[in-house]
Amino acid sequence: MRRTAGLLLTLPLLLAVACSSSPKAAGPVTPSAASAAPTVPAPVGEASPMPTLSGGGFGSKATITIPEGQQPGGQFVVNTVSEGDRATVNKGDWVTVNYTARDWTTAKDLPSSYDANGKPQLYQAGSGQLVPALDQSVIGKKVGSRLLVVAPPAAAFGEQGSTQLGVNKGDTVVFVLDIMESLPPDSTLTGAMAEPAATMPQVKDNGKAPATITIPTGQAAPTDLQQAVLIKGEGKQVKSGQTLVVQYTGVLWANGQQFDASWTHGGAQAVQIGTGSVIEGWDKGLVGQNVGSRVLLVVPPALGYQDKAQGSVPANSTLVFVIDILEAV
C-alpha cells in the first residue's frame, strides 16, 4: 500500500507541504502561492550592511540587531556564525532546525522556536517544504552550526509576504538557524534485535531495505494491539502531537504479503503521531516509545482500516509493521 498522506505540518515557516506516505490518508495538499515566487538568488557568505548577534550561542535564542538607519543590500546571505563538527547536511536529508527571526524592514521580532510555545522545524532540506531561507541555507552546512541568514523577499516569504507572521510584501527577514540534527533518507537503526514472543511475527533485518516479516504458522490473528520493542532506543520519549521520522515495513497477517514500506517511497518518512493523522494502531503503539527504537506492531482491523479496503489491503485486515523511530520533534 502506498497512500498519499498529505501530512500538513503545522510549521509557521511552511510554504509548500510535501506529500508523504503514511498508514492513513488525509487528502491531497495544494501548494501555496510560494510555487510562483520570484527566482531566489544564489546565496553569498557576506554582504554589507549586516545584522549583528548577541545573547546565547548555539542552542539558545539569539538577539538580532538590525543596522540602524540602513537598508538591506538585497542579497541572499548565508553566513556561518559558528561551524559544527558533525555530519554535513545534503539535499533530501531530514533536518531539524531551531530558529530566531526578525523583520529587517520593521525591526519586529518574529515567532521563534525558542519561544515558550515554539518548536523546531523538521523538514527535508532542498525539497521546497519551507521558505528558501531555511530550505536552501542548510545544504552543505554541518550539524551543530549556527547560521545567520539575510533573506530578501524572494527567499523569505515571496512577493505576498506572510499574513500569519505579519511580514509585509517586500520585507527582508533575518534568521538565525541552529542545525540540531540531520538524517539521510536511507537512515536505519542497527544493533542486536530482541526476539518477539513465538506467537508474534518474526523479523529479519535487511539493512537499508524492507525488513522480512514472517507470520507465525497456524496462529490466529490477535484481536488486540500487540507490540514488541525489538531495539530499545535511548532517545527522548515520543509524545502525542509530535512529528516522527520513521522507516517502516508493513505486511498482511493473512498471507505475509508486503503492502507498504518507506523504502519504496524514497526512504524515511515524516508522520504526525497521536493526532489521528495515522491509523489508531500507530497512535497507540508509538506514543511513549523512545527515539532510536525499533517497534513491532500487530494492528487488528479495529485499529487499522476496519471494514474499508485500502489499495492492496483488503477490508478487515490485520496489519503487521516494523517501525524504526529515527527522530521526534
- C-alpha cell of residue 219: 496462529
pLDDT tens across 286-300, in order?
A: 999 999 999 999 999
Percent of the chain with pLDDT over 70: 87
The answer, yes or no, to whether residue 190 has pLDDT greater than 80, is yes
What is the distance between the alpha carbons of residues 111 and 198, in angstroms, rounded to a whole number? 51
Mean pLDDT, residues 3-13 taken together: 31
Between residues 238 and 55, which one has the greater pLDDT?
238
Positions of CATH 3.10.50.40 in the chain: 33-182, 202-328
- What is the number of other CB atoms lying within 10 angstroms of the CB of residue 116? 5
Percent of the chain with pLDDT over 90: 78
Mean pLDDT, residues 137-146 taken together: 98
pTM of the model: 0.86
Mean pLDDT, residues 127-143 taken together: 93
How would residue 55 be classed by pLDDT, with cut points 50, 70 and 90? Answer: confident
Ranking 117-121, 176-180, 235-239, 292-296 by mean pLDDT, the lowest is: 117-121
Report in angstroms the alpha-carbon separations of 101 from 132, 256, 319.
14, 50, 44
The answer, yes or no, to whether residue 194 has pLDDT greater than 70, is yes
Note the pLDDT of residue 286.
98
Return the residue matching grid coordinates 527582508: 172
DSSP letter for each residue of 58-81: TTS-EEEEPPTT----S--EEEEE
pLDDT tens across 230-286, in order?
A: 999 999 999 999 999 999 999 999 999 999 999 999 999 999 999 999 999 999 999
The answer, yes or no, to whether residue 161 has pLDDT greater than 80, is no
Supply the DSSP symbol for 40: P
- What is the CATH architecture assignment of 33-182? Roll (3.10)
- What is the number of other CB atoms lying within 10 angstroms of the CB of residue 19? 16
Q: Are 302 and 319 in contact (CB under 8 A)?
A: no
Ranking 16-25, 114-123, 304-313 by mean pLDDT, the lowest is: 16-25
Question: What mean pLDDT, rounded, does the chain reach?
Answer: 87
Tally the C-alpha atoms within 13 A of residue 106's C-alpha that lie toward its C-beta. 15
Residue range 202-328 forms a domain whose CATH class is alpha beta
- Give me the residues paired with residue 182 across strands: 95
Mean pLDDT, residues 11-15 taken together: 39
Note the pLDDT of residue 10.
28
Mean pLDDT, residues 115-131 taken together: 92
pLDDT tens across 18-53, in order?
A: 333 456 532 222 234 334 445 788 899 999 999 999
Note the pLDDT of residue 23.
60
Note the pLDDT of residue 130.
86
Report in angstroms the alpha-carbon separations of 316 from 170, 219, 253.
54, 17, 11
pLDDT tens across 87-98, in order?
A: 999 999 999 999
Note the pLDDT of residue 163.
65
The backbone torsions φ and ψ at residue 308, rounded to the nearest 5 degrees and listed phi first, read -110, 130
Mean pLDDT, residues 142-167 taken together: 84
